[in-house]
Structure 1
């Protein structure tokens, strides 16, 4: 078997895994009580810092994207743009993107916040989630990661008075 054939079959397997992870997987991993807790954690966190946080869960990529090896980071950046996370007054949007089929998490931060936080700090937050997700737990690791994120943002980008909420605080399940 050639490496080209292995690559083709590997891509087919990846596409199948993403196609098999439908909306039901997102609802099972993130039931209403978890979604409500996420929204509350984002709301309370944004009182401590000036950043705007958005969390998006995608059960799986479409077959074409998965087959063509669209990376998690690429997809996160596309959603960052699509959902207007970049469109905040202080360029302070932060997106947490969760891909359930791949069990991967990426954080994309707008330029103002991104300059203040080291990549290693974002990676610790992502690892909190992926470690819990590997054990089948989505609720506690997500809330723990949001607390870590809010603490990190409060340290690097603290609140300086009241400000309008510029992005919705509810989690999005695609």
Structure 2
């Protein structure tokens, strides 16, 4: 995760997206793995008023890849999926781009007043390290748990929330 990161044009990034073969890289995201990660999102949301949203994407959209990096894509998806639209501005998007081997966390302004960008960055680096060691699902599950712990620190609930503002279902963009 990079803060104040300006997206730069990259012909190499565009080519990586064009040449990416999903079948070779996203075998780990089976229906069962997606269901387990969805359960992890649900667990990560227990005991606090925050919302956690996980998006896994094979590659950047080809038409945008020259000008758009993973950070910019994550911010766009944060808006598109309305992660910002929670009552207390406590939405947290976790974005995984398989082609770029990158993970981004975008936190809404409510939680960002409490958690420094370096905390999110350290969480991303740890998860990316696990993913590079072929422990993708386990690394994402651990990351979801860590995000839930951070949200519990600042938005703890005595009782489980009455409602869920965002779906817990993992979004997979091919």
> Which category of TM-score, normalised to the shorter sequence, fits these structures?
0.7 to 0.9
Say what the alpha-carbon RMSD is for the aligned residues.
1.9
Residues 97, 105 of structure 1: 8 Å contact kept: yes
Equivalences, count: 164
| Runs of 4+ residues over 4 Å off in structure 1 | none
**Cα distance in 2 between the residues matched to 1:160 and 1:72:** 36
1:128 aligns with 2:94: no
**Residues 58-115 of structure 1: CA distance to partner in whole angstroms, max 9, x if unpaired?**
11112232222x1211111100000011111111111001111111111111111111
**Cα distance in 1 between the residues matched to 2:71 and 2:35:** 26
1:3 alignment partner in structure 2: none
Return the index of the structure with the highest Cα Rg: 1
Higher helix share: 1
Question: Which residue, out of 82, 94, 97, partners 1:96?
Answer: 94
1:141 aligns with 2:135: no
1:33 alignment partner in structure 2: 32
**Cα distance in 1 between the residues matched to 2:57 and 2:77:** 10
Q: Which runs of 5+ in 2 are unaligned?
A: 1-8
1:112 alignment partner in structure 2: 110
1:155 aligns with 2:143: no
1:49 aligns with 2:44: no
**Alpha carbons of 1:91 and 1:26: their partners in 2 closer, same or farther (altered >3 Å)?**
farther
**Cα distance in 1 between the residues matched to 2:137 and 2:105:** 18
Q: TM-score if structure 1 supplies the norm length?
A: 0.85
2:75 alignment partner in structure 1: 77
